[in-house]
Amino acid sequence: MGRCRRPLGMQMRRIASFVGLMVLAMSMASEAQQEPEAETVTPSGKTARRFQLLVNGGLGSGGRSFGGVSTFTEFLEQGSSRRDYDGGGGFVFEFGGIYSITPEIGIIGSFELFSGDNDAVFEEIVPHPLLFNHSRSASSELTGLSYSENALHLGVVYSIEQPSITVDLFGGPSIFFTETELVTNVSTSSSYPFDELALGSTRTSKFSERPFGFNIGAALTYRFTPVVGVSVQGRFSRASVTLEAQPDSDPLAFDTGGFRVSFGLRLSF
């Protein structure tokens, strides 16, 4: 009987030791699994997304109003040609990226494409061929003159991170690439007794400029996953454009850029 009890006690001790080892192993495995989960929360910080690719589309405001007067001599008197332009809004497309230097500070760069049109009102004042100080005038308008405005925006970005939401505040220099179609010549005609002036054909030309300016803005991004998110962005940019459309005429000056709201996609890497 004593021999039977001794092996049974040893077996019980072995079982207890085995169970203890299993419990210890399971607890260690549980701790090992919990450690990576604690680390997966922190990648919501900027350091886990060193580079962000952005693609936006939206609407840009107009507000381009400018004009000028040129003079000429005809029939020993001075005549004039007046041009007034007014531009509307259009569609904006933007693509670029953000490179993070620290979790809060980064560098942003993007290229923006904008196209719209301008409407022109023009007036011709031509001296009378027979009577002194009896100039005749005629006016008309031309719509749908092309206008394109592309811009390279650079700047510093400050990011405020939340688990699923990021707010970016940015600003810096910009260079614009503008092409503006202008009315350069309007033909006129008259018949005896030359009291009335009639307008004929019009000729237009395109003028390009590359002014420097600035941009400031903010973007709000909501991330569905650590990689994919959607954003809404507002940016104000400004540069001054001066065009020499005709000799002996006032320079045509206007401000390019403006306030633009866009919606887009953010991809984080």
Q: Is the pLDDT of residue 126 over 60?
A: yes
Q: Count of residues for the chain?
A: 269
pLDDT reported for residue 119:
95
pLDDT reported for residue 194:
93
The Cα 152–Cα 13 span in angstroms is 77
Which residue's structure tokens are 């690439």? 177
Q: Is the pLDDT of residue 28 over 50?
A: no
Answer for the pair 222, 164: CB distance below 8 angstroms, yes or no.
yes
CA-based torsion, 47, 48, 50, 56: positive or negative:
negative
**45-268: CATH number:** 2.40.160.20
**Per-residue pLDDT tens digits for 194-243:** 999 999 999 999 999 999 999 999 999 999 999 999 999 999 999 999 99
pLDDT reported for residue 108:
97
pLDDT reported for residue 40:
38
Q: Is the pLDDT of residue 4 over 50?
A: no
The Cα 156–Cα 98 span in angstroms is 9
**Residue scoring higher pLDDT (71 or 108):** 108
pLDDT reported for residue 47:
44
**Per-residue pLDDT tens digits for 159-190:** 999 889 999 999 999 999 999 999 999 999 99
Instruction: With 0.85 as the threshold, say if the pTM is over it.
Output: no
Instruction: List 69's β-bridge partners, or say none.
Output: 82
pLDDT reported for residue 191:
92
Which residue's structure tokens are 């007034």? 84
Average pLDDT over residues 14-22: 45
**Residue scoring higher pLDDT (67 or 41):** 67
Q: Is the pLDDT of residue 138 over 60?
A: yes
Q: Is the pLDDT of residue 157 over 50?
A: yes
pLDDT band, residue 249 (cuts 50/70/90)? confident
Domain boundaries, the chain: 1-44, 45-268
Residue 18, H or E segment: helix 2-41
Q: Is the pLDDT of residue 148 over 90?
A: yes
Average pLDDT over residues 59-73: 85
The Cα 22–Cα 66 span in angstroms is 84
The two three-digit tokens of residue 241, written as one number: 């454009």
Average pLDDT over residues 75-88: 91
**Per-residue pLDDT tens digits for 45-58:** 444 568 999 999 99
pLDDT reported for residue 33:
42
